[in-house]
Amino acid sequence: MITLKQMTAFVALVETGSFSAAAERVHVTQPALSQQIKEMERILGVTLVERLPRDIRLTRAGQVALERVRGILAMTHDLAAELRLQQGLSGRLTLGVIPTIAPYLLPRALTRIKAAALDIDMRVREAQTADLLGDVARGRLDAAVIALPYDLHGLVAEPLFTDRFLLAGSKARIAALCTNDAPPRPSDLSPDALLLLDEGHCLADQALDVCGLNRARQRVDLGASSLSTLCGLVAQGFGLTFVPEIALTTEQAASPDMAVLRFPSPEPERVIALVRRSSTQASAWFNDLAALLSEAGGELLFEARRVRG
């Protein structure tokens, strides 16, 4: 019978591409990991990987096995998570959050956890959306907070709140835009004036979408690694950018020379959602976490919507 250790070793080998790196990941010696793979191949009666001088390559049988093994491991993680969290939002919880949400939403959420005296050990991973969704699908994370729209590849999303985009720039630049008869729409903005996050950040993709732009035009400055960096730049007159409402209070405190402008209706927006595997039931812990995050987000939105720029 194939063991969970063998399946875990097999996935680690595929994802790292080498026996030495896989052995380090699963905390065994390289000969021990090699033996686990060989034993798995013996039980299945097929060759799963081709051993090359400096690489490994999945066979066709290995490709089929990889998909099934990942599904089995994810279900195993689901079982462990359900047992850990069967009493509601308690025990250990592994949560992923994208960088344009984490520094703003998490402090408010953690404050609520402390206030409710919840017995929870929350471990957070901050990464870009694609990486987080992959980790949720493979069972490495219990859930993740991301921004929609995004292709979920079969995962289930629970919407938490709607986060609108504001136009941010220096006080002088925003004041000049306010003198027009009507505030600009996203599609009215010159690409030459926009500063956005670098490749891989969904916020940059969403901003380009609402402006009707695409990266192929190479006229938009895509290079900042954090929203805070963007806000600091535009506050000093280096172009314009989009700021989500949940970030506004924090970023205006850090960059007091930054001003914002609301777009006319319909305002561009993103939906913040909590994502889980479809095999993970929407049990008490998930619903409790969604409610807590939604409340924290609502507080941030209330504060932001009182700001007039």
Is residue 141 scored above 80 in pLDDT? Answer: yes
Residue pLDDT, tens place only, 212-236: 665 544 455 556 678 888 888 889 8
Select, from the ranges 59-63, 103-107, 286-290, the one with the highest average predicted confidence (pLDDT): 103-107
Among 55-69, 200-214, 218-232, which range has the highest average pLDDT?
55-69
Contact 89, 289 (CB under 8 A): yes
Angle, in degrees to the nearest 10, between helices 4-16 and 19-26: 130
Q: Determine contact, residues 9/29, Cβ cutoff 8 Å.
A: no
The beta-carbon contacts of 114-121 under 8 Å, at least 24 apart in sequence, are 116/292, 118/89, 118/90, 119/90, 119/91, 120/89, 120/90, 120/91, 120/92, 120/93, 121/91, 121/92, 121/93
Residue 233 lies in a domain: yes
Identity of the highest mean pLDDT range in 149-158, 183-192, 282-291: 149-158
256 within a domain of the structure (yes/no): yes
The length of the chain, given as a count of residues: 309
**Beta strands 156-170 and 195-197, pairing class:** unpaired
pLDDT tens string 107-123: 988 887 777 656 677 88
Closest CA to 160 of 52, 65, 275, 240: 275
Residue 216 lies in a domain: yes
Boundary residue ending a domain (82, 112, 137): 82
250 and 185, same structural domain?
Answer: yes
Given a cut of 80, whether residue 163 has pLDDT beyond it is yes
Domain contains 309: no
For residues 264 and 288, state if they share a domain.
Answer: no
Residue 219 neighbours by CB distance under 10 Å: 12
270-298 mean pLDDT? 83
The overall average pLDDT reported for the chain is 82
Residue 221 backbone zone (phi > 0: left; psi -120 to 50: alpha; other: beta):
beta
What three-state secondary structure class fits 244? strand
Select from 237, 247, 229, 238 the least CA-distant residue to 171: 237
Q: How far apart are CA 197 and CA 25, in angstroms?
A: 31
Q: Which domain CATH number covers 182? A: 3.40.190.10
Q: What is the mean pLDDT of residues 100-109?
A: 91
Distance between CA atoms of 6 and 122, rounded to whole angstroms?
28
Let me know: does 57 contact 87? Beta carbons within 8 Å. Answer: no
Which among 39, 21, 43 has a CA at the least distance from the CA of 30? 21
The answer to whether residues 26 and 51 belong to one domain is yes
Contact between residue 195 and residue 221 where contact means Cβ atoms under 8 Å apart: yes
- CATH code at position 64: 1.10.10.10
Same domain, yes or no: 172 and 78: no
292 domain-assigned: yes
Q: How confident is the model at residue 210 (pLDDT cuts 50, 70, 90)?
A: low
* Dist CA 90 CA 241 (whole Å): 39
> Is residue 308 domain-resident?
no
Do 96 and 132 contact (CB within 8 A), yes or no? yes
Banded model confidence at residue 247, pLDDT cuts 50, 70, 90 = very high
Query: Would you state the structure tokens that stand for residue 157, as one six-digit string?
Result: 């999303």
SS3 content of the chain, % helix, strand, coil (to 5): 50, 20, 30
pLDDT digits (tens, 9 = 90+) for 264-283: 888 888 999 999 887 666 56
Number of structural domains (the chain) is 3
Q: Is 234 helix (H, G, I), strand (E, B) or coil?
A: helix
Find the helix packing angle between 30-44 and 19-26, rounded to 10°.
Answer: 100
- pLDDT for res 88: 55
- Give CA–CA dist 109/117, Å, rounded: 13
Write down which residue in 56, 82, 108 finishes a domain.
82
Domain of 30, in residue numbers: 4-82
Q: Are residues 32 and 125 in the same domain?
A: no
Instruction: Say yes or no: 36 and 110 in one domain.
Output: no
Q: How confident is the model at residue 186 (pLDDT cuts 50, 70, 90)?
A: confident
